[in-house]
Structure 1
Amino acid sequence: MSTKPDKPFALDHLILFLPSSESTPPTPLIPPSISANFTLTPGGLHADNLTANTLILLADGSYIELVCFNPGASSSAIEQHWWGGKHGRLRRGWTDWCLGSDVPVEELSAWLKSLGAQNDGVWKWDDAVKGGRKRPDGEQVRWSVVFPEKDDTGRGVRGLVPFFCVDETRREIRVPRDEVKTRHGCGVLGVLELTLMVGNEEILERVGKTFDALVGTGQATASEQRYRLARVVSETGLRGLGPDIVVKLATNERDRDMVGERGYAITDVVMGALADEREAGNDLRKLEGGAKDEEISDDQCVKGQRVRLDSGGTDYGGLWVQYV
Structure 2
Amino acid sequence: MSQYIPPTMASAADQKVALLDHIIVLVPHAELKDPPKALTDNFNITNGGRHADGKTENKLIVFKDGSYIEIISFIDDLPENRADHWWGSKPYGIIDWAFTNGIDYNSNYEALISRLADVQGDSSGAYSYAPPRTGGRIRPDGVKLEWAVTFPTNKEGNDTETKRPSNLPFYCHDITPRENRVNGETEHPCGAVGIREVLALVDDPQTEFFAGLIRAAVNSVNTEGNGGGIQVGTPHGAPSVISFVAPTSDAEKNEASLHKFVLKELKFDYGSNNVSGGIKFSYPFQD
Runs of 4+ deviating beyond 6 Å: 1-4
CA contact (8 A) 1:80 1:154 kept: no
> What amino acid sits opposite 1:156 in the alignment?
R
SS state of the match for residue 80, structure 1?
Answer: coil
Q: Give yes or no for the alignment of 1:100 onto 2:100.
A: yes
* Offset, 1:37: 1.3
By how many angstroms is 1:66 displaced?
A: 0.5
Task: State yes or no: 1:306 paired with 2:278.
Answer: yes
**Residue 21 of structure 2 is aligned to residue 12 of structure 1:** yes
State the Cα distance separating 1:17 from its structure 2 match.
Answer: 1.2
Cα deviation, 1:204-257, whole Å, max 9, x if unaligned, reads 2321221332333343778x43011112113xxxx5xx4110023335424213
Q: Distance in 2 between matches of 1:220 and 1:143?
A: 32
Q: 1:206 to 1:79 in 2, by over 3 A?
A: farther
**Offset from partner CA, 1:279-312 (integer Å, 9 cap, x none):** xxxxxxxxxxxxxxxxxxxxxxx543333366xx
Alpha carbons of 1:21 and 1:252: their partners in 2 closer, same or farther (altered >3 Å)? closer
Match of 1:113 in 2: 113
Structure 2: which 5+ runs fail to align?
1-9
Structure 2 partner of 1:128: 132
Report matched runs for 1:136-151 at 5 Å: 136-151=140-155
What's the CA shift string for 1:115-139, capped at 9, x where partnerless?
2333316731111011100000111
Contact 2:232/2:240, CA 8 A, preserved across alignment:
yes
Q: Closer, same or farther in 2 for the Cα pair 1:275/1:140, shift >3 Å?
A: same
Consecutive unaligned residues in structure 1, runs of 5 or more:
277-301, 320-324
Cα deviation digits, residues 117-171 of structure 1 (max 9, x gap): 333167311110111000001110000000001556764313x211001100000
1:83-94 to structure 2, matched below 5 A, reads 83-85=87-89, 88=90, 91-94=91-94
Distance 2:192 2:26 in 1: 20
Per the alignment, in what secondary structure is the counterpart of residue 106 of structure 1?
helix
Mapping 1:206-217, distance limit 5 Å: 206-213=209-216, 214-217=218-221
Task: Give the superposed CA RMSD.
Answer: 2.8
Indicate which of 287, 305, 315 corresponds to 2:284.
315
Match of 1:262 in 2: 259
Name the structure 1 match of 2:60.
55
TM (norm. structure 1) is: 0.74
Tell whether the 8 Å contact from 1:229 to 1:243 is kept in structure 2 after alignment. yes
Q: Which residue of 2 aligns with 1:80?
A: 84
1:215–1:228 Cα contact (<8 Å) kept: no
TM-score for both structures, normalised by structure 2: 0.83
Does 1:33 pair with 2:2? no
Shift, 1:46, TM fit: 0.6
- In 2, Cα distance between equivalents of 1:100 and 1:247: 21
Structure 2 CA distance for partners of 1:206 and 1:61, relative to 1, 3 Å: same
Distance 1:44 1:147 in 2: 22
Query: CA offset at residue 94 of structure 1?
Result: 0.7
Aligned to 1:171: 178
| Residue of structure 2 equivalent to 1:281 | none
Q: For this pair of structures, how many residues does the alignment match? A: 269
Give yes or no for contact 1:34–1:309 (8 Å, CA) kept in 2: no
Q: Which has the higher contact order (CA 8 A, sep 6+)?
A: 2
Aligned CA distance change for structure 1 residues 275 and 230 (closer, same or farther; 3 Å)? closer
Could you say which structure has the larger radius of gyration? 1
2:64 is paired with a residue of what secondary structure? coil
Using the TM superposition, give the Cα deviation of residue 40 of structure 1 relative to its aligned residue in structure 2, in angstroms: 1.0
